[in-house]
Structure 1
């Protein structure tokens, strides 16, 4: 019996403050580069974005595009111009040229977005799900997902959960699934919140809805199906019609490496802001701030004990919670 062919072209061990790297063939004109082990570690994403930035500055002939994920990057190329081996060699040189993780700085923006917790559109999505898909879903008791998030994480009440959302910036690791949909993770590990996804998924979610799946937050860019636990609503993050000036150059508000800071508001104020966005009266609050990975590593070490205690509390609570 012949051995099963492997997609792996080459591997590199972790060294010099860089993670281990696996190069995989992905079809006849793409490479998938994976960094580190399959774990939730923001430093892997920082390295991915540093590589993507370096590749944009120093491309190789035949490179068509690159798409960063959380701990991987897909690179599409023209095989008539560059071979997989040549591309791997170029990427290896690029990796070697990068500084150690604690010395990396990533171009970043801080974007403030209003959020209305427990909004009517999120409740409507849950109610529709109960009526048409699954009336006994444990995550939808009380016709909302918020109480389930509170129970699953061991929070004392909703306000403690809301405080966790508001207390930290949220790192945009990558964009995907739908155009403009950000996958975001808390920068401060003390404020990590986790929840399993719907089972089965919803058929409808409002534009701007904010949800939680696993340890990841997302803002829904369009009306769509979805599986994240809904707890609030924010402003548009995608507009192909460019009805607001922020979308004139790019229909996507957020990009990998951006940080979102939520500001609490009422639903009435949010709906008014929604109208202002469409009428080009609203101005998104955006500030350019490079992200210092070394400072992040220092913060992570400083709060490790508190974050670990919060994780233990979360794990105890989740062990008692029913899974959808």
Structure 2
């Protein structure tokens, strides 16, 4: 029987710890770093490894799927043995710089957001009526005030400022196709929230929601369990915009950086109408991201001190808030 953990080699200086796990008879899961806390260094390294494998294909390796701090590597056993996949991956890791020196292709996208919109409220209302009338995360028909309380924020505007003031890094796309999971590149904008319990049966397309430390944008109507706080324009090929979705049906790619700008719900409705008509001009700029930018920002005294103060306030506040 193949062991669950195949290898845990000693990492090179400055590299994250690597654990190789069996993932069925045709795949390996490669984990970087530790599960907690969320570590963008491990995520940058996973992105770099995936791009290196794509640029330098290994015979027998069929597909690579990136996660928050992992890669799932699918291979054809008749073409390459499991141990040879591990050997090839070790060569990839040795070829990579330490996370601080990684530079990745990274587009910048600007998306409108309407906070506490009527579609989000409708999803929360359906949940309260049909699934859990006593849900503690539903306050005055919305999840917004629950997020505010859980993070120890003074009011809604403080929450909205956290969302608007940072660039958000798409750490990975997953759970279902086209769903981006965004983390702030400014640690002062960190916000967290527990998930619904039980899950929500319906979420509007375009909903922007928070679960754990990640913001997600729903590309389609779907179930969900993250706390909804707003809505944006469509991010899937349903818009049929040939320029924006020429290569990939998902608008937001792993490693993209997202910024949000605030609009009213009436303005968002018009922008969404344009998007579905194919006339909305998505603001997408090609570029590159040097991980050093993140590490330098996070280490700046004024940033690190304020980020730590906000974490302490959040930890104190959540002790007083009921978990769903």
TM-score interval, smaller chain = over 0.9
Distance 1:22 1:218 in 2: 27
Partner of residue 170, structure 1 = 168
Distance 1:260-1:102 versus aligned 2 partners, 3 A rule? same
> TM-score, normalised to structure 2's length?
0.97
Q: CA deviation at 1:11?
A: 1.2
Distance 1:11 1:240 in 2: 43
Partner of residue 308, structure 1 = 308
Q: CA deviation at 1:202?
A: 0.8
User: 1:189-230 CA distances to partner (integer Å, 9 max, x unpaired)?
Assistant: 111011111111111110000000011100011011111101
Q: Which runs of 4+ in 1 moved over 6 A?
A: none
3-state DSSP of counterpart to 2:28: strand
3-state DSSP of counterpart to 1:281: coil
Distance 1:102-1:86 versus aligned 2 partners, 3 A rule? same
State the Cα RMSD in Å: 1.2
Contact kept, 8 Å, 1:196 with 1:323, in 2: the verdict is: yes
Contact kept, 8 Å, 1:210 with 1:232, in 2: the verdict is: yes
Partner of residue 25, structure 2 = 28
Q: Quick one: which of 104, 118, 121 aligns to 2:119?
A: 121
> TM-score, normalised to structure 1's length?
0.97
Contact kept, 8 Å, 1:242 with 1:248, in 2: the verdict is: no
Partner of residue 19, structure 1 = 16
Contact kept, 8 Å, 1:122 with 1:230, in 2: the verdict is: yes
Partner of residue 222, structure 2 = 224
For these two proteins, the number of residue pairs brought into alignment is 321
Q: CA deviation at 1:94?
A: 0.9
| 1:230-309 → structure 2 map (5 Å cutoff) | 230-239=228-237, 242-243=240-241, 245-302=243-300, 303-309=303-309
Q: CA deviation at 1:5?
A: 5.9
Partner of residue 196, structure 1 = 194
Q: CA deviation at 1:249?
A: 2.1
Distance 1:199 1:132 in 2: 13
Task: Determine if the alignment matches structure 1 residue 37 to structure 2 residue 34.
Answer: yes
3-state DSSP of counterpart to 2:30: strand
